[in-house]
Chains A and B, each alone.
Chain A
Amino acid sequence: GQQVMQIPQYQHVQEGEDFTTYCNSSTTLSNIQWYKQRPGGHPVFLIQLVKSGEVKKQKRLTFQFGEAKKNSSLHITATQTTDVGTYFCAAPGELSFGAGTTVTVRA
């Protein structure tokens, strides 16, 4: 089974609004990665976080790794239609992907 849990499973967002998706592990992770999969596509790497409490930004996306290295979050501001897709967190050391958060956007 998957060792990292993601919530929510689905996120329906009004264009322009913000949202956050969360990734949780019962064990301490060496690092965590985030991927995005567009409908009909394959996962594409977004970012890797390694340090406790690390925060990285990519334009409207903010990624955070928890102090205990057991959880991570992805926050998207001012959602656009191009943000549609499924966002996965992955614990590469454990070869484990979460089930993903599927994002749909209402224009």
Chain B
Amino acid sequence: DTGVSQNPRHKITKRGQNVTFRCDPISEHNRLYWYRQTLGQGPEFLTYFQNEAQLEKSRLLSDRFSAERPKGSFSTLEIQRTEQGDSAMYLCATGGEGGQGSGKLFFGSGTQLSVL
């Protein structure tokens, strides 16, 4: 158990609906990342927080995607008006002290999204 908790584990939704995923990091970790992974591919970076500050969000896939990390603790990723192409595993990863490119990441078990 890595200590990074993601909820829900699975989400099935209809096209056009909004969905929100939650990530609870390891308590002392100030860096938090969201990735998307599809079958046969590596994790694709979406966005990054250092404490409560969202330092990189240019790679969010569209304006339908948004993320927050109030108070620098848990984070949420919201997808509005879901499309079938959004079906994927959404992974959260956290890391301790250091900047963007330093230190190992601890991944959660992910949220598997299926858009019907």
Contact = CB atoms under 8 A, between A and B. Distances in A.
B7 to A, nearest CB: 14
Pick the 7 closest A-B CB pairs, nearest first: A93-B101, A97-B42, A45-B104, A95-B45, A42-B107, A92-B101, A97-B43
Q: Which of A35, A95, A98 has the most CB of B within 10 A?
A: A95
A88 B43 contact: yes
Contacts of B40: 99, 102
B56 A45 contact: no
How big is the A interface, by class? Answer: 20 to 34
Nearest to A98: B42
Interface in A93-107: 93-100, 102
Contacts of A48: 103-104
Given A42-B109, A42-B110, A99 B42 contact: yes
A31 B42 CA distance: 18
Contacts of A99: 40-42
A100 B40 CA distance: 8
B42 A95 contact: no
Nearest to A6: B42
Contact of A42 (B33, B42, B45, B91): B91
Interface string B28-52: 0000010100001111110010000
Nearest to B110: A42
Contacts of B107: 42-44
Interface in B82-98: 91, 93
B3 to A, nearest CB: 12
Interface string A8-39: 00000000000000000000001101010000
B107 to A, nearest CB: 4
Interface in A65-105: 88, 90, 92-100, 102
B86 to A, nearest CB: 18
A2 interface: yes
Contact of B104 (A33, A42, A94, A100): A33
B108 interface: yes
Contact of B102 (A44, A92, A102): A92
Contact of A30 (B91, B101, B109): B101
